[in-house]
Structure 1
Amino acid sequence: MVAVIPWIAIPMIPLGIAFFFLQRYFSETSRDIKRLECATRSPVFSHLASSLRGLWTIRAYKAEQSFQELFDAHQDLHSEAWFLLLTTSRWLAVYLDVICAIFVTVVAFVSVILADALTPGEDGLVLSLALTLMGMFQWCVRQRTEVENLMISVERVMGYLDLEKEAPWEYKDHPPPPWTNEGRIRFDSVYFRHTLDGPLVLKKLTAVIESRKKVGIVGRTGAGKSSVFSAVFRLSEPEGLLWVDQYRIELAGLHNLRKKMSIILQEPVLFMGTMKKNLDPFNEHTDKELWNALEEVIY
């Protein structure tokens, strides 16, 4: 096309600059919207999968309506993000078409002005090449934008790779077998936060819970009551010294530590399987002991 009408190279320079800045402006917005769409999509599939796995339990408690309303809420959030992503894509398409139409119009006017110097065949060739070139420009801009949007999924995967790792499951030096026989817990200037960059939820906690004592922790919502147990179970690594009997818990592997303790959650949870499997997942007790435990709870 430039070989036929050399002057066409002049408007092609601002055309390329316009495409570049348009794509750059659109990408800054579409990346965030795509990130939002991915974040709102996960709860939809997660809720659907968990509902299918526990379908018989949902029907047994006649909770179909509440689960459907929760699914609708997740779906509405995802639909809003998805619709916003589609509308921004249409916005880009409209502006690309406008720029391409302006360029083709300029080429057509130049062909009319230079009608005496060009043959009809050359006029048709120039217009055909202009349309083809605009299609290639649009394709390049769309593909680059799509690649940047799809890289959001890679970004989420990389986020999981950078998660803080837990302590080893077991250490070579196991704690002595009777290390939790008494059950005395001592906090010595313990600081605790749920994430590395999160706020401190426990600040310089110093306390002693004697063996076989019942202790109540009183406080408003968010005061850090459950965080005390998170520190004992090392759901996140606490700072300071935390002792169980005469043994520092950071010297024990997570398996050895958590196996020696138990907790009753605020919301009861049953795992898939039989009641016996939930009560005794490691087959360490007899049926009589399990029945005795159930009878104590019932009566």
Structure 2
Amino acid sequence: MMITNYILIVPMVFVAAAIYKMRNIFTRTIQAMRRLEGTTCGPVLTHLSSTLEGLATIRAGGSQEVMSMDYYTYQDIHTSAFYLLCTTVTASAFWFDIVVNIFVGCVCYSFLILENAAGAAAADVGLAVQQSLLLVGTLHYCVRCAAESAAHLGSVRRALDYASLPPEEGLQPGTGNEPPPTWPSKGAIQFDHLTLRYSSDSPPALRDVTVNIEPGQKVGVVGRPGAGKSALLAALLRLAPTDGAARLDGTDTRTVSVRRLRRRVSVLEARPAVFPASLRDNLDPERGRRDSELWAALREVGMKDAERTLLIPVGSGGGHHSLEQKQLICLARAVLAGNKILVMDEATANADLQTASLIHETVRKKFKDCTVLTMTQDPRIVIGCDRIMVMSAGTMVEFGHPHLLLLNPEGHFYKLVQECGTSVAKELYREAQESYRRNEPEAETPEIEDD
């Protein structure tokens, strides 16, 4: 177009400047809209997934209407954000077309008004007009593609941020101070002034926790949500940076490779972890066990009659099995591991009464010589433990036998038991007293005052 009529360079400069400015505004806006649309889409998918997982509970409680209204609310917010994104794209296309049409008008009128362009060949005029008309739609499409690419590159940037993270400390074995292969052979746990932070700028999740747990003891860790129960597990498995020391059988866990440390501690959580593979691979990922051992483990947890073959697929996320069956699979895996330390982090929170009773009975039989940490909010689950550790705001506020803790009316554990109701509290007092007499037959059993 400039070759045909060099005067067109003047409107080209203004149009190019306007398009550049609009492109910057549009790119920033569509990126913000994309982030907003993605943020509002997350609750919709989370709510849908949670609803499908808890469908039986929702129907049992008659909460279908409440869950539907919550879904409609999330969907309305997401639809609003998506509509805003669509209108932003449409508005940008409208303004781009206005600028381009103004430029096309300048091209056409330049050949009619200017004298030096009047003698231009018809072919040149047609070529100039045709090339200017190509900008309509095409220019906005190119700018929109560039903005979309920049928005999607944000995902690539986040993936690269994860890829560039330094590897977890201690993954490589061979520090020179590795304990023997049978470690830990007793199951003693010691926390020495242990403090844990999930990041350098976050408040500590654990604050100066010091406690000794003897081999074979059954310890209940109780506290309200956010008290620091799960942080103890994170400190034990070195899931976050810690100050102080965590020792197993006298060996500082920082001197042991993370891979080996986590293999020697069995964990049962509220959401059981299963793999999209066969039942055999879920029970024995390293394929070092015989079929007879696997069937024996399934028999121990009550799943012998439920499975006909070890090659049955568990499915992605355990979709082919119920939540209770997945929890029993994880328990059978812990039985096969034969570790001296078992941590139960709200393991029976989502299980029915029958499965919860079966899990606790299996733990009492198969892990009677092991150290068991049971983390829960419900004191009824841990009332029969040898020791109770009460956590509050990341600090251990009480530690001792449940019966002795209940002797203190001002204590945290006493108040937790009182919240269960009068009749339940009296039953817990009786169980704690019987447990104390059974474990300490030579000690005098003080009576709990009945309020």
**Considering the TM-score relative to the shorter chain, is it more than 0.5?**
yes
Question: Which residue does the alignment assign to 1:88?
Answer: 88
- In the TM superposition, 1:57-72 aligns within 5 A as none
Question: Which residue does the alignment assign to 2:34?
Answer: 34
**SS, match of residue 215 in structure 1:** strand
1:170–1:256 contact (8 Å) kept in structure 2: no
Q: Tell me whether 1:227 sits opposite 2:231 in the alignment.
A: yes
Change (3 A) 1:167 1:252: same
2:40–2:81 contact (8 Å) kept in structure 1: yes
1:188–1:207 contact (8 Å) kept in structure 2: yes
**SS, match of residue 181 in structure 2:** coil
- In the TM superposition, 1:200-211 aligns within 5 A as 200-211=204-215
- Give structure 1 stretches of 5+ with no counterpart: none
Change (3 A) 1:256 1:128: closer
**SS, match of residue 242 in structure 1:** strand
Matches of 1:210 and 1:4, distance apart in 2 = 93
Change (3 A) 1:33 1:239: farther
Letter in 2 for 1:158: L
Question: Which residue does the alignment assign to 1:99?
Answer: 99
Question: Which residue does the alignment assign to 2:173?
Answer: 171
2:40–2:78 contact (8 Å) kept in structure 1: yes
Question: Which residue does the alignment assign to 2:244?
Answer: 240
Q: Tell me whether 1:193 sits opposite 2:197 in the alignment.
A: yes
2:97–2:137 contact (8 Å) kept in structure 1: no
Residue 146 of structure 1 deviates from its aligned partner by 3.2
Letter in 2 for 1:85: L
Matches of 1:185 and 1:136, distance apart in 2 = 69
2:188–2:215 contact (8 Å) kept in structure 1: yes
Residue 261 of structure 1 deviates from its aligned partner by 1.6
Change (3 A) 1:22 1:288: closer
Matches of 1:89 and 1:99, distance apart in 2 = 16
Question: Which residue does the alignment assign to 1:130?
Answer: 132
Question: Which residue does the alignment assign to 1:155?
Answer: 157
Residue 18 of structure 1 deviates from its aligned partner by 0.8
**SS, match of residue 207 in structure 2:** strand
2:234–2:240 contact (8 Å) kept in structure 1: yes
2:5–2:117 contact (8 Å) kept in structure 1: no
Letter in 2 for 1:15: V
**Length, aligned pairs only:** 292
Letter in 2 for 1:208: N
Question: Which residue does the alignment assign to 1:114?
Answer: 114
Question: Which residue does the alignment assign to 1:291?
Answer: 299
Moved more, 9-18 or 207-216: 207-216
Residue 119 of structure 1 deviates from its aligned partner by 4.5
Change (3 A) 1:113 1:27: same
Matches of 1:129 and 1:218, distance apart in 2 = 75
Change (3 A) 1:92 1:117: closer
- Give structure 2 stretches of 5+ with no counterpart: 303-357, 365-451
2:205–2:228 contact (8 Å) kept in structure 1: yes
Letter in 1 for 2:217: K
Matches of 1:245 and 1:18, distance apart in 2 = 72
Letter in 2 for 1:191: T
Identity percentage of aligned residues:
31
Alignment RMSD (CA, Å)? 4.2
1:170–1:252 contact (8 Å) kept in structure 2: no
Structure with bigger strand share is: 2
**SS, match of residue 166 in structure 1:** coil
Structure with bigger helix share is: 1
Q: Tell me whether 1:262 sits opposite 2:270 in the alignment.
A: no
- Pick the aligned partner of 2:147 from 145, 148, 156: 145
Change (3 A) 1:141 1:263: closer
Change (3 A) 1:180 1:80: farther
Letter in 1 for 2:8: I
Letter in 2 for 1:228: L
Letter in 1 for 2:256: A
